[in-house]
Amino acid sequence: MQVNFLVLLIAAVVPMIVGFIWYNPKTLGTAWMKAAEVSEDKMKGANMALIFGLSFVFAYLLAMAEQFMVIHQYHVYSIFQGDPTMSDPNSATSLMINDFMAKYGNNFRTFKHGALHGTIAGLFVALPIIGTNALFERKSFKYIFINAGYWTITLALMGGVICAFA
């Protein structure tokens, strides 16, 4: 099973698209700015090329990590890690894995399944991280829910793209 870099690049664009909609002043942008205590003046002084460039790099890294959450078949290979016979394509282990992947390699490889696992990652990974940081930063629950909502939806869509097309 090989990583499909094009799919990961497409998945890395998802946070940009969702963020453009989610944080737009016509949706939740104004509420987020108040909750985050960010002013228009502070936003104008930012290096947007650096922000978007690094955001894309981080999104790509996130897509690389998320593929292991949404594609169950990757875990089959970890079971046999370190087995010296894996380098021999005609070994019993290699033949067994190839047979297994031929039979079950496409199970649970749908957008819907990836979106489910992406949603789970949003609720059980992103929300606790954002919530913990926000509590210590003395941010409001509105701030937590705006940002955790964004990441839950984003991870769901990224997971769907990765699982269905990688």
Nearest to 133 by CA among 151, 117, 119: 151
Looking at the structure, do residues 45 and 92 belong to the same domain, yes or no? no
156-166 per-position pLDDT tens digit:
999 999 999 98
Looking at the structure, do residues 54 and 125 belong to the same domain, yes or no? yes
Q: What is the 3-state secondary structure (H, E, C) of the chain?
A: CCCCHHHHHHHHHHHHHHHHHHCCCCCCHHHHHHHHCCCHHHHHCCCHHHHHHHHHHHHHHHHHHHHHHHCCCHHHHHHCCCCHHHHCCCCHHHHHHHHHHHHHCCCCCCHHHHHHHHHHHHHHHHHHHHHHHHHHCCCCHHHHHHHHHHHHHHHHHHHHHHHHHC
Q: What is the pLDDT of residue 30?
A: 95
Whether the CB-CB separation of 32 and 146 falls below 8 Å is answered with: yes
Looking at the structure, do residues 20 and 64 belong to the same domain, yes or no? yes
CB atoms within 10 A of CB 119: 17
> How many structural domains is the chain composed of?
2
Looking at the structure, do residues 62 and 115 belong to the same domain, yes or no? yes
Domain enclosing residue 83, as ranges = 76-107
From CA 25, how far away is CA 15, in angstroms rounded?
A: 17
Looking at the structure, do residues 19 and 66 belong to the same domain, yes or no? yes
Whether the CB-CB separation of 160 and 115 falls below 8 Å is answered with: yes
As a whole number of Å, the CA-based R_g of the chain is: 20
Looking at the structure, do residues 24 and 82 belong to the same domain, yes or no? no
Q: What would the two tokens of residue 25 be?
A: 């002043």
Q: What is the pLDDT of residue 104?
A: 87
**How does the average pLDDT of the chain come out, rounded?**
93
Q: What is the pLDDT of residue 3?
A: 67
Looking at the structure, do residues 12 and 87 belong to the same domain, yes or no? no
75-134 per-position pLDDT tens digit:
787 787 778 887 788 888 888 888 988 898 888 899 999 999 999 999 999 999 999 999
